[in-house]
Structure 1
Amino acid sequence: MLFLTRRVFGTCMICLFSAGLLFITFGPAATAATRAPSVSAPDDFPVYPVIKPNVDFWIDIFTKYSRGEGVVHDARDLSRIYGTVKLNPENTRKAAKQNRKVKKKAIKNYKAVLTKLAAGKAPATAKEKKVAALFGANTTPSVFKRASRNLRIQTGLKQHFMEGVIRSGALVPEFKKIFKSYGLPEDLVYLPCVESSFNVAAYSKFGAAGVWQFTRSTGRLYMEIGYVVDERRDPFIATHSAAKLLKRNYGELKDWSLALTAYNHGLNGMRRAKKQHKAYPKIYTSYRSRSFKFASRNFYSEFLAARQVAKNYTRYFGDIRLDRPVSYTRFKVAGYVPASQLAQNLGLSLAELHKLNPALRKPVFDGRKYIPKGYELRLPKGFTHERITLATAGLYYDKQKPSKFHRVSKGDTAGAIARTHRVSLNDLIMANGLSRRATIYVGQTLRIPVAGEAIPKKTKQAISQEHKSPTPKKTEEAAAVMVASATPETQPLPPVKKAKTKKTARQKETQKKPVPEKAAPQATKPEIAVAPAATKPPEVPADVNLQVVTSDLKVRKLGEKKSYILGEIHVVPGETLGHYADWLGIPTQNIRTLNRLAYGKPISIGQAIKLPLPGAGSTGFEEKRFEYHQEILEDFFDSYDVVGTDTYEVKSGDTLWTLCANELEIPLWLLQKFNPTINFNALHPRQQLVYPLVNPNGVFPLDHDGNLDFRI
C-alpha cells in the first residue's frame, strides 16, 4: 500500500491494468478549480500550506503530463521543476530500456550543472542560468550540493489516471456505502487512485495485492489469504478491510492526514512521528527516519491531488464515460466443487467464472484445487438459485484436493520421482518448469501434479545465468541431480558494517500497521565480517528454476512427548510465529513458550524453531507451509519475468532489507535463489551479489510500493 519509487532515476505510474472486472458510475462532478483548495475550507482532509505545492505538482502529473514526458524535479521541493525530457510512451521492454538511458543522462546533466553551481562558478549557459534562477541570488553552495543529490524524474500519468477513473465507475458507489457503514469519510474511496488505480489484479514485486494493495502480513489480520482463496483480490471484501484499517489508524492518531500517511508508512512509524513532532505539517518538514522517504512524505499530497481530480474528472478529462456497476447472484456452495465442471454446467467459461470471483486463485481454475466448501460465489444476476443448485448437483466432494510435493534428495532423478508419485515425467517437468534435461537440484521442493489438473504446455523456464556452474551430464532419466553447496533462505540478516561500528541501525518498519508477529527477516546482532574484498561475483547454479520452491521446508522430528510430537524447522523469509500457529491450529503463545521466546522478540532467518506437532505428524503442517511459499512464487511470476542478471557490490551500512527494497527492488527469497552459496550472515563491503533483472509481463507493472514501475 505504498506509492512511488524511491530511486533517483525511478518513475512510477498509477496501476491501470485492465482487469475486466465489475466497474461503476458516479455522476458528473461539480465544477471545481484545477488547483488544490484552500486549507480554510472545512474538510476532513486539509491542504496545509506547506504541502500545497506538492498537491499542485501531483495534479499536474495526473492531468497535464503524458507518459511520453518525464518531469525533472527536486525530490524534496516539488515546486522546483528543472524541465522535462521526452520519453518513449510505448509499453515495451525496448522503450523502457531507452527511457532508462534518457532519464539517466538527464539526471547526470542536471547534476553536473548543480555541482558547478555548488563550486561557486557563475552560470554560463542558458540551461545553467535557468537552473540558478530557480534558487535565488543568495543561495549557498551547500544548497546546490544538496539539490544535486535530490534529482528525480516523474513520468506523466494523464492517460493512465483517466483510465483509472473510468475503471473506478464500477466500484466507487459500493465503496462509498461500505465506508459510510463504518462511519468514515466517503472521500477515502479515492485512495485506490494512488494505490492501484482500481485495478483488481494489481500485484507488486513485494507481494501487495488487489485494489487496496494489502501486504500478506497486514491483510491476514482482516481477510483469508491462502493458496485457494486470497480475499485481497476481491474488491469489496478488501474495501471492508481497508475501512477497518483506516478506522484503526484514525482512532490511534486522531488526524486523517496522519492516518492516511500511516496507511503507507505504518501505524508504528506514524506514532513515533507524532510523538516527536505532534502535527502533520511539522512531521512533513522535520521528521526523519530510514523509512520515511519520498513515498511516505508524498502519500497524503498524492491522495489530496487524486481526490481533487477524481471528484472533478470532467474538468480535467471532459465528458468521459465511466464503467458501470455489475449486479450478481450470490450462491454459497455446500461442498468442494471442481470449477471446470461447474462452469460447464452453468454455460460459463472458466475465464468468466474467474472474472466474477477474483478471490479464487489460479489453482482452483487449473484443477489443482476445488472451490472450497462454504465459499460464496458471485454469478450473473440472471442466474436463479434453482438453476445453480441444479448445476452443482452431483459435483460436490467431501474434501479438498491435497497439495503434493517432493523434497529432492541426493540420488533422486526426475524420472524416479515421477514413478514414485505415479505421474508422467512430462507432467512433472511441465508442472515445475524443468529444463529439457529435467535437471533437478538437492533441496528443491517439486510440485507433484494432481489428477484432473490442466498443466500448461508452456511454462516459465529456468533462466540461464551469465556465471554458470558446470552443466551435468545427461542421464538415462534425463534428470540428473545437482547438489547445491548451500541451502538458500535460511540465514539471519545482519546489516553490513565497518569493522569498528558497534551500534546496529534500526530497521525500517515493513508493515503498514503493527501486527502480532513480525515476519522474518529481522535485524539481528551484526557479525562484523573481516573477509577480504570479493573481486568477482559468486557462482550461481547453471539454471535457476523460477517455478520451484528452494527454501528448506523440512520438519525434523526431535522426539515424542505425551501429547504431541516435537519437531524442528528453520525460519525462511516471510514466515512468522503466527504462520506456524495458524498452520498447526494452536495459539502463537504455545510456540513462544516452547522456544522460550519473549513476546515481541522477532525471529530470524535460519533460526531453529521447535514445534508441537499433532499426533498425525508433520504432513498437514508441511503441506500448508509448502502452499504458502508456492503461492508467493506463483503470484510473483504470474506478474513478472526474469530476463537476465547483474551484480551489486555490497557497501558499508547495507542491510539485506535496504538492498532488496531500495537498491535491487526484488524480494529477498528471489535474491537468495540466485546466491545459494552466499552466507548472508556475514556480508562484507565490496562483496558482490548476483541479482535478477525483473521485467513485468503485464500491461502496467507495480513496484515494491504497490505502484506502477517503469524501471524495466
Structure 2
Amino acid sequence: MTYSKLFTVVAAIVGSIWANYAQAAPTSHKYESPVFGDSLLPLGDTTLLTPEELALLVEYIPNEPNDVIQDRLSCIESEIPLTFNPFVRNFIDYFTIRNRKYTRTMISRENVYFPLFEKYLKKHNMPDEMKYLAIVESGLNPKAASWAKAVGLWQFIPDTGREYGLDQSAHIDERMDPEKATDAACRFLKRLHKTYGDWELAMAAYNCGPGNVNKAIRRAGGGKKTFWEIFPYLPKETRSYVPSMTAVIYAMNYAPQHNIFSDSILYVQDVETITINQGVDLEKLAAELHIDSKTLLALNPEIKKKVLPANTRNYKLRVPAERAELLASADNVSCMIAAATPTIVPVPEPVIEREPAKAPVLLASNTATTTTLPDSTEKVFYKVKRGDNLSSIATKHNVTVEQLKDWNNLRKSTIVTNQKLTVYQPKATEALAMATPAEVAEAKPVVAKKTSKPAIKPSEKHQEIIHHVQPGDTLWNISQKYNGISVEKIKKLNKLKTNEIKPGQTLILG
C-alpha cells in the first residue's frame, strides 16, 4: 500500500470516529471516568489526534454503529440492566477505541482474579457479572490506592474496611487481601441491594455512599428509584460509574469483535499456606524457599512491609505450591521460619545522668524552689466542636489517637459534635513546674516573683538527661516517665517539628 493510500485510510477512519462522537452527544458535553481519574474525553471535538493515537489507528479498529452495539448488549445474559444510550456509547468507545491498551491489560489479568470473584459471588447468590466492578474500581490491581485513601481490588476506605472485618495495621492491610476483600465487598454490595432492590443503585451507593443516593432520590421527587431516573442528581463521579460498568462488561465480552487481544495472558498461581506465629523476615524466608522475595510479596499483597512483627499469630502466608517438597515436612517449615527470624538490634535502656546534688535546682526562672514531683495525671473533658476529628484533638492535647480511642472506648474514629471525650493530662502544677519561662509568665494565677534561692546562672554546667526511645514510646508517655515534662518542652529541647519519634532515637529531656 502506498503512503497516499494509507493516509486516505487513516483519514477515513478518523473522520468516521469523530462523526460518530458528534452524532452520539452534544458537542459541548464532557464526562469524567472514575477509572481514569481526571482525564476528560471531549465529544464531538475535531482536535487532531496525537501521534500515538494515529499509530493505534494504523491497526484495524472497528467503529460499530449504535444498533450493532445495542444488539450485542441485549445478547449478554445479565441480571444487571445494561442500558444503552449516547452516554454509555461514549464509554464503550473509550474502552474499544481510545484506550484499547487498558482493555488488553484487563484481558491479561482476568484469569488471575475472576475465578476468585465468581466463587464468592456464587456463595452470596449474587450476579456473576458483578465481577466486572473490580475493573472499574481498581483495574484488577490489589495494591491500587486512591486519593480518598481507598485501597485494594474493591477500594475500601479505612472505616468501611474495618466495619466489614478487614484489619489494618502497620504491617498488614487486609483491604489488599484479594480473598478477604472480595468476601467483604460481596457482603457490602448485597446489603446495599437489599436496601434499594436494584443493582444499579447498589453500585451507585457503593461508589458515593447511601446518603448521596438517598439525597438524589429525594431531589428527583421521591417516587423515582432507578439509576437513570435519579441520574442528574447524583455526584459527578457516580454519574460515570454505572455507565463505566456497562461499557466494561461490553468491552470484555466483545473485545475480539473490536480486534482487541492480549498476547500475555496471566493465570492464578497454585499456592500452599504456612502458618506464621512469630516475627519473620520475608526476604530471608524467600531465600530459604529459593524464590524471589518479590514473588512472595506478590502472593501476599496485604503485607505492607518486608518483615512480619513478633506478635504475629496464626497468619496464613501464601507460598508457591511448586515448593511443596520443601514444605512437606513440619520440621522443614519450622527450620525455615526459624532461619528467617528478623535480626533485632537491642535498644539500650534509658540512661539518666544526674549531677551530684549541690543546691536546689529551679526549673523555671522566678519560681519557688521545686523538688521532684510524682508521676500523676488528671482527667479532663473535651467537648467536640464542629470540624473536629480525633487527629486534631490528639494534637491539641499532645496525645495519640489510639490513646483517645482507648480512654473513650471508641472502636472507630467517628465522633460527633458536642460529644464529650475523656482526656488525661499532666496535672496543672506539674505542667507549670516543667514550663519554660515564657510559659510560666503566661500562666494564671501569676506565680510569686520572689524566690527563696537564686536561680542557677547560665554559666553553670549541668549534665543532660537522656532518653533512648523504645518501641511503643510516644512523647506523651515519655513526659510521664520524667516528672511530667511537657511534650512541647521535649519538642523544643530536641527541635522536633512533629510528635513522631522512632525507636533508638535519642531525646534530651533536661
Question: What's the TM-score, normalizing by structure 2?
Answer: 0.55
Aligned counterpart, 1:175: 117
Q: CA–CA distance in 1 between the matches of 2:72 and 2:407?
A: 52
User: Aligned with 1:194: secondary structure?
Assistant: helix
| Structure 1 residue 295 displacement after superposition | 0.9
Bigger helix fraction: 2
Report if the CA contact (8 A) 2:276-2:315 is conserved: yes
Aligned counterpart, 1:247: 190
Q: CA–CA distance in 1 between the matches of 2:106 and 2:115?
A: 15
Percentage of identical aligned residues? 20
The amino acid of 2:422's aligned partner reads K
Of 568, 574, 588, 2:410 maps to: 588
Q: CA–CA distance in 2 between the matches of 1:235 and 1:391?
A: 25
Give the stretch that moved more between structures: 246-255 or 343-352: 343-352
Q: Is 1:382 paired with 2:322? A: yes
Aligned counterpart, 1:202: 144
Change (3 A) 1:552 1:257: closer
Change (3 A) 1:5 1:387: same
The amino acid of 1:307's aligned partner reads I
Q: Is 1:60 paired with 2:98? A: no
Q: CA–CA distance in 1 between the matches of 2:473 and 2:179?
A: 32
Q: CA–CA distance in 1 between the matches of 2:219 and 2:303?
A: 44
| Structure 1 residue 177 displacement after superposition | 1.1
Change (3 A) 1:421 1:387: farther
User: Aligned with 1:610: secondary structure?
Assistant: strand
Aligned counterpart, 1:221: 163
Change (3 A) 1:196 1:286: closer
Q: Is 1:373 paired with 2:187? A: no
Aligned counterpart, 1:324: 267
The amino acid of 1:190's aligned partner reads Y
The amino acid of 2:249's aligned partner reads R
The amino acid of 1:45's aligned partner reads I
Aligned counterpart, 1:340: 283
Deviation string, structure 1 residues 174-229 (Cα, Å, up to 9, x no partner): 21111111111010000122111111221223322111111112112221111111
What stretches of structure 2 of length at least 5 have no aligned partner?
A: 1-32, 43-66, 352-383, 426-469, 478-496, 498-510
Change (3 A) 1:248 1:420: same
Q: Is 1:44 paired with 2:50? A: no
Aligned counterpart, 2:299: 356
| Structure 1 residue 355 displacement after superposition | 1.3
Q: CA–CA distance in 2 between the matches of 1:421 and 1:311?
A: 65
| Structure 1 residue 43 displacement after superposition | 4.1
Change (3 A) 1:243 1:276: same
Report if the CA contact (8 A) 2:278-2:309 is conserved: no
Aligned counterpart, 2:255: 313
Aligned counterpart, 2:153: 211
**Structure with bigger gyration radius:** 2
Q: Is 1:3 paired with 2:71? A: no
Q: CA–CA distance in 2 between the matches of 1:255 and 1:164?
A: 27
Change (3 A) 1:553 1:390: farther
Aligned counterpart, 1:139: none
Q: Is 1:602 paired with 2:409? A: no
User: Aligned with 2:125: secondary structure?
Assistant: coil
Aligned counterpart, 2:440: none
User: Aligned with 2:277: secondary structure?
Assistant: coil
The amino acid of 1:46's aligned partner reads P
The amino acid of 1:260's aligned partner reads M
Deviation string, structure 1 residues 516-548 (Cα, Å, up to 9, x no partner): xxx949xxxxxxxxxxxxxxxxxxxxxxxxxxx
Q: CA–CA distance in 1 between the matches of 2:273 and 2:297?
A: 14
User: Aligned with 1:331: secondary structure?
Assistant: strand
| Structure 1 residue 555 displacement after superposition | 9.4
Q: CA–CA distance in 2 between the matches of 1:585 and 1:39?
A: 57
Q: CA–CA distance in 2 between the matches of 1:319 and 1:274?
A: 41
Query: Which one has more relative contact order, counting CA pairs under 8 Å at least 6 apart?
Result: 1
What stretches of structure 1 of length at least 5 have no aligned partner?
A: 12-31, 66-156, 405-417, 423-490, 495-518, 522-549, 557-567, 593-599, 614-618, 627-675, 677-712
The amino acid of 2:95's aligned partner reads F
User: Aligned with 1:189: secondary structure?
Assistant: helix
User: Aligned with 1:3: secondary structure?
Assistant: coil
Report if the CA contact (8 A) 2:296-2:319 is conserved: yes
Q: CA–CA distance in 2 between the matches of 1:41 and 1:324?
A: 25
| Structure 1 residue 284 displacement after superposition | 3.5
Q: CA–CA distance in 1 between the matches of 2:86 and 2:345?
A: 54
Q: CA–CA distance in 2 between the matches of 1:389 and 1:311?
A: 49
User: Aligned with 2:138: secondary structure?
Assistant: coil
Report if the CA contact (8 A) 1:569-1:608 is conserved: no
Change (3 A) 1:282 1:377: closer
Q: CA–CA distance in 2 between the matches of 1:323 and 1:317?
A: 19
**May I ask how many residue pairs the two structures share in their alignment?**
339
Report if the CA contact (8 A) 2:276-2:313 is conserved: yes
The amino acid of 1:304's aligned partner reads T
The amino acid of 1:375's aligned partner reads Y
Of 226, 236, 244, 1:280 maps to: 226
Q: Is 1:260 paired with 2:203? A: yes
Q: CA–CA distance in 2 between the matches of 1:368 and 1:603?
A: 39
Report if the CA contact (8 A) 1:360-1:371 is conserved: no
| Structure 1 residue 262 displacement after superposition | 0.8
Q: CA–CA distance in 2 between the matches of 1:40 and 1:394?
A: 54
Question: What's the TM-score, normalizing by structure 1?
Answer: 0.41
| Structure 1 residue 379 displacement after superposition | 0.7
| Structure 1 residue 306 displacement after superposition | 0.5
Aligned counterpart, 2:368: none
| Structure 1 residue 336 displacement after superposition | 2.9
